[in-house]
């Protein structure tokens, strides 16, 4: 399944200026369906009010070992958690955790839990680089604690350097990865995304309405499930941390980049909307309006998907997409057969809320022994259904 439905995450917030970013981490986790239980230290409340987290999270914020009806709140929190996330994690917290000092509810909880723990350090550069902090982080890593390294950038006080809390999206991506099935671990997954743009002259292009949202959702889902991901895309959208990003514009550029990488890919997902035609002659300069409408002579673009199907090696999974406006199943089944695909994902782009530019989609997934209708849902959920089908095919 996509996201984190029903997963119980304890979100620990310690007393650093970056505590305000934990509000966005909380919101994003809840948006993914997680049940978020916030725990704030006393110093954290100097930076962000407890009411903020209580309003956004799934339960009221916890702040003390002594103000809970449960006589052992830290044990109970540790037992129910699927994951504990500490964002930000201050130098003081890292030292206490490494030393096993349970001086407050949060440190007692991380010591009491057997769930995975993800710490996200944030502090000034000199503190982050101090030998004691680095030794404490190394100690925690050896014990199996997961760490999202801080970023470099502007710090409190205006300095520039390392130690800034990682972005909320990076933290949430790592949390999702830790809680996702790692059924694509060790696999190389190549994903294409966006619509190609074929030049008419120095200014104008032939394009389509693809936003790239579905392709990039597939990339994030594959990364969360353990894959090494390459994204060949025409759109300026985020890609998963660690993914290879290849920017292209035209069908010919996409063909060259995809073919250069396809041989080493275990799974190729062609979610891009590749133009079927391009101008045979491209004007070097802008065509002036006063010369009248130009007569465009079009020629076919390379059929990247068919080319991949012709050279597909044994064991490789090739997934195509079909954007249709009629005869959805018939057209999809024909494309599946003609292009030697393992799976095809078809959608009616004329349906309300589906297809180009929307955050939602509804699709038909076809393959050998596979026929699944996925009703209207967000594109990350569509991505999960597609990759579930890939995993099922690899198991046969």
Closest by Cα among 44, 111, 43, 41 to 72: 111
Among the listed residues 188, 208, 331, 373, the single catalytic one is 208
Question: Is the Cβ–Cβ distance between 84 and 113 less than 8 Å?
Answer: yes
Catalytic status, residue 331: no
DSSP 301: P
Tell me how far CA of residue 347 lies from CA of 5, 192, 321, 327, in angstroms: 25, 17, 8, 10
Query: Is the bond leading into 230 cis (omega within 30 degrees of zero)?
Result: no
Question: Is the Cβ–Cβ distance between 227 and 188 less than 8 Å?
Answer: yes
Taking the C-alpha atoms of residue 92 and residue 150, their distance in angstroms, rounded to an integer, is 16
Closest by Cα among 208, 317, 326 to 270: 317
Cα 53 → chain centroid: 24
The set of catalytic residues is 208
């Amino acid at each position: 399944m996509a996201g984190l439905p029903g997963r119980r995450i304890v979100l620990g917030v310690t007393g650093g200026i970056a505590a305000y970013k934990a509000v966005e981490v909380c919101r994003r986790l809840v948006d993914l369906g997680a049940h978020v239980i916030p725990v704030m230290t006393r110093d954290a409340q100097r930076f962000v009010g407890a009411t903020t987290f209580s309003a956004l999270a799934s339960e009221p914020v916890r702040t003390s070992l002594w103000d809970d009806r449960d006589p052992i709140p830290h044990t109970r929190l540790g037992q129910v958690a699927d994951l504990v996330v500490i964002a930000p994690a201050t130098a003081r917290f890292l030292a206490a955790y490494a030393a096993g000092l349970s001086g407050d509810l949060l440190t007692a909880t991380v010591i009491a839990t057997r769930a995975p723990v993800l710490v996200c350090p944030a502090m000034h550069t000199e503190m982050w680089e101090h030998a004691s902090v680095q030794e404490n982080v190394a100690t925690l890593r050896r014990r199996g604690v997961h760490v999202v390294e801080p970023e470099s950038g502007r710090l409190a006080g205006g300095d520039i350097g390392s130690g800034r809390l990682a972005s909320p999206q990076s933290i949430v991506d790592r949390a999702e990865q830790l809680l996702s099935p790692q059924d694509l671990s060790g696999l190389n997954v190549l994903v294409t995304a966006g619509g190609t743009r074929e030049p008419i002259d120095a200014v104008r292009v032939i394009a389509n309405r693809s936003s790239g949202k579905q392709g990039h959702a597939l990339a994030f889902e594959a990364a969360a499930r353990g894959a090494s991901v390459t994204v060949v895309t025409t759109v300026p959208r985020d890609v998963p941390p660690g993914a290879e990003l290849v920017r292209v514009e035209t069908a010919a550029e996409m063909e060259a980049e995809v073919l250069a990488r396809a041989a080493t890919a275990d799974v190729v997902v062609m979610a891009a909307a590749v133009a079927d035609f391009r101008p045979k002659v491209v004007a070097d300069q802008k065509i002036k309006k006063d010369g009248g409408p130009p007569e465009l002579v079009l020629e076919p673009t390379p059929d990247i998907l068919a080319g991949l199907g012709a050279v597909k090696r044994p064991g490789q999974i090739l997934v195509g997409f079909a954007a249709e406006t009629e005869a959805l199943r018939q057209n999809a089944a024909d494309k599946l057969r003609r292009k030697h695909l393992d799976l095809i994902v078809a959608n009616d782009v004329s349906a309300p809320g589906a297809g180009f530019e929307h955050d939602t989609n509804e699709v038909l997934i076809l393959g050998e022994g596979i026929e699944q209708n996925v009703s209207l849902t967000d594109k990350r959920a569509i991505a999960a259904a597609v990759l579930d089908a890939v995993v099922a095919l690899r198991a046969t």
